[in-house]
A and B are shown apart, each in its own frame.
Chain A
Amino acid sequence: MSEARKSVAIVIAGSGGTGAITAGSALIAAAARDGHYGLMTKLSGAQVRGGEAAALLEIGSAADGGAIEAQPDRFDCLIALDWQDVHRFAPEIPLDRSSIIVCDPKNGAVPDAIARSGARVVELPIAQIAASVEGGRLNMVGFGIAAELAGLGEAAVDEAIRAMIGGKGEKAVTASIGASAAGRAAFAATGVSMALAPGKKAERWMCSGNEAVGLGALRGGITFVAAYPITPATEITEWLAVQMQEHGGRVVLAEDEIAAINMCCGSSFGGAPTMTITSGPGLALKVETIGLAIAAEIPMVIVDVMRVGPSTGVPTKSDQGDLDIALHGTPGDAPRVVIAPISIADCAATTERAVHLAEALQTPVMLLSDQSIGQTQTIIDIPTDRPAPLKRLTTPFATGADFRRYALTDSGVSPMPPPGVPDCQWVADGLSHAESGHPSNSAANHVAQLEKRLRKLDRFDFGDTWGEVFGPADATMALLAFGSSVGPAKVAAARLTAAGTPTRVVALRLLAPVQKAKLAAALAGVKRTIVVEQNHSAQLWRHLRGEKALPHGCESFARPGPAPFRAAEIVAHILREVAA
């Protein structure tokens, strides 16, 4: 029996239909009810249905006692409901000699790919235990084993089951509670425990980044969504479609990606705060219309949940390789706002902010999420910071012949009355236009409107939106990251600090326009800066270098998906570079 610990990392795996993911969902919900934080990643085989599946969890708290924001370096325990094809996940489930593998001897030997980790095998007759309970299922036995290992309370376990499957009736609840209790009892008898220190019970949020983006959209005032299905972004569309039944608003499933963004142009032109949702290949299809929306000054939020590319890539795995297309994808000169949540906890507020920015600046705002942020389930403290609302300028300065949709104002923002307002009729146009909105080939008009659109972004006060700084004030080293790279960078920085190199993390939220003064202040006093990002071509590093926003000698650590970033990898890279 070991000491009470801060966190425990557990994998529940099995073939399709065994319900490994359901067991993981129950485990994270039970942990939340016992006052713990948690993070759950789901793995599934390439099959559309019925492939192997695994729930990868860490529950407890991070080293600082707060929410867990990164995948663990290694797992303490793998619970195998069966072995069919589970070995395919071996590279994503790092185990070592201090880990244990709980499995049913009836399913045969531990596959080599997993056994060679040296983890200790704890055999339990999982199938027999499940069969001993009427209606008992393997996955609930697995859940019970995991709950016992982590030392979760019986009440939390039973409540989690009830909340999850209560809708299926009392018989199903009884069977699941019985199976989990049998699993707990059987595992307790092995004498193995990795029990967590008691959690601090508090009301928290349990959600994924995709769900939190959906909430941020509603809070921002989105009333119209048009989208086409694409992994890993579809969940946002589905979540909003369901929620809008109660909340109000509309989700239209468009015939294609291009239709989706053009529907958004129409609804936004009509006055509705509008959003489209996609991933890399869909974003590529939308770029022509992004240029239109920038030129015609049509507000909208474009969510891109990034996955491994190019082309179809690895649709279910995270990568940060869409930054280039988000920043620059469109013919001609089309400056835009690109914003990225720095954590799952930041998704709701950043999405809400994205809606405000789009409306206030009358321009598309690219919201760059990624698969890791989007599809990871987490327990977090309830975010309390909400951005102050900003609205679209719709009241005309003058009407009739004097109305000018694209008036050259100091702020660059000009009135955008929606159809229905008398004496302000204007035509939104992708053609270069005069202040009136009428098509114009004149160089003077073209340049004046280009500068107007750039001025909107340059003169706007983005305030605290630019990013966040984490870590010691006396830091000599900084890790600069965005999106899902921030979490592992924070864990790495804490370890480097503990090891004697005070290290901070500069988490960039506003990727464009770059807020150079804010970034320079965040890097003040730092001798060594490393841009950490999950793509092959160092897109963030190149972007910031191009903007002359990085100190001389700033290093790049860019590594593509699909393998998730882990803190140990970042630390090892940094120490290796020092040694070299």
Chain B
Amino acid sequence: MTIHEQPHACPQQLTLKDFKSTVEPIWCSGCGDFGVLQALQRALAELGRPPHEVVVVSGIGCSSRLPAYTTAYGFHGVHGRALPVATGLKLARPDLEVITVGGDGDGYSIGGNHFLHAARRNVDLTYIVMDNRVYGMTKGQPSPTTEADWDSDAAPGGTGVKPFSPLAIALAAGANFVARGFALDVKPLAAMIVEAIRHPGFSFVEILSPCITFRPDEMEWKKSVARGVIQPTTDRAQATATVLSDTEMMTGIFFKGDRGTYRPAPTGHGDPEKIAAQFRIGGSAHMPSEEAEGCCG
């Protein structure tokens, strides 16, 4: 089977159920990630790509368990490295829909370098971060988006370190689509994910996804999220200004850019013996000999 030559299936009528797997999530009841999973399943149904043409890639953490909960192909790798996996996959297989998912620890801390470079490289990927501002799987340590004064066993009284703005970083690094959603607003979130996937280049969707086990205070997000106040812009500076003046609680699409995506791989003659001929020296001529031609078969 020549996988690279498979025709794209035409968009077909699919429903959320087509993307629902039989594997039971390990998430706590009330976890925001359930909302994200449902929104993603809705979005994929809306896009009409069959599950076998979709790959969901993740790293390590609560939210990174998501791939097994869909019926798509999946890659659940090591901590923080989902974006490089997705990058390699999309570059090798541009025909596939590649969606990367993970959490704030995975994406902004241990995988922070990859976040910068994925945005800069602008491969046609969608990156969904379920940001609960805490390490959940290891039971409640502060992450790069945790408030400086949030008390925990690992950092009694708080880390004293200012959290960073993932959206500002994504914009500065060159992301081509930047949005923030809220996990419990499933329908608008699904629409936002559809738009992110359709937008060419590196699309970044940060989702406020409450962890009610280790951050019960995040139950307030239902009320504190500011919906519908953001207008998308194509002006990166303006989007950055909006993001920086934000309380990190506004949802919507902040930026839609038009950067060219990462260049395609060179196609060539595919004959290594033409390359091997460069090593030849001392023969009668600078042409590949008959022996070399014979090796090609």
B-binding residues in A (CB < 8 A):
29, 32-35, 201-207, 211-212, 215, 218-219, 223-224, 226, 243-250, 252, 254-256, 258-260, 262-272, 274, 288-289, 292, 296, 348, 379, 382, 384, 386, 394-395, 418-431, 438-439
Contact = CB atoms under 8 A, between A and B. Distances in A.
Contacts of B54: 419
A263 B83 CA distance: 8
Contacts of B276: 215, 219, 348
Contacts of B84: 226, 254-255, 258-260, 262-263, 265-266
Contacts of A419: 52-55, 73, 89, 93, 96
A425 B51 contact: yes
B54 to A, nearest CB: 8
Nearest to B2: A271
Contact of B52 (A249, A258, A425): A425
B269 A429 contact: no
Contacts of B291: 382, 384
B212 to A, nearest CB: 24
B3 interface: yes
Contact of A201 (B86, B95, B266, B282): B282
Contacts of B282: 32-35, 201-204, 206, 379
A267 B89 contact: yes
A207 B279 CA distance: 6
B280 A382 contact: yes
A247 to B, nearest CB: 5
Interface string B263-295: 001111111101110011111100001010001
B279 A205 contact: yes
B253 interface: no
B165 to A, nearest CB: 21
A218 B279 contact: no
A256 B53 CA distance: 29
B67 interface: yes
Given A203-B289, A419-B55, A289 B81 contact: yes
Contacts of B280: 203-205, 382
A255 B78 contact: no
Contacts of A268: 88, 92
A476 to B, nearest CB: 39
Which of B88, B266, B295 is the most central at the interface, judged by chain A CB atoms within 10 Å of its CB?
Answer: B88
Interface residues of B, number: 61
B91 A252 contact: yes
B114 interface: yes
B85 interface: yes
B266 A266 contact: no
A438 to B, nearest CB: 6
Which of B67, B75, B76 is the most central at the interface, judged by chain A CB atoms within 10 Å of its CB?
Answer: B75
Contact of B275 (A246, A418, A430): A246
B78 A246 contact: no
Given A288-B78, A420-B52, A425 B73 contact: yes
Given A266-B86, A270-B89, A218 B275 contact: yes
A427 B3 contact: no
Contacts of A266: 57, 75, 84-92
Which of A207, A250, A266, A268 is the most central at the interface, judged by chain B CB atoms within 10 Å of its CB?
Answer: A266
Given A215-B275, A259-B117, A265-B88, A420 B3 contact: yes
A265 B279 contact: no
Contacts of A267: 88-89, 91-93
B75 A428 contact: yes
A204 B283 CA distance: 7
B116 interface: yes
B72 interface: yes
Contacts of A421: 1, 3, 52
B77 A424 contact: no
A337 B1 CA distance: 27
B73 A426 contact: yes
A205 B269 contact: no
Nearest to B288: A203
A75 B261 CA distance: 55
A264 B268 contact: no
B91 A224 contact: yes
B102 to A, nearest CB: 13
Nearest to B264: A250
A258 B114 CA distance: 9
A439 B291 CA distance: 51
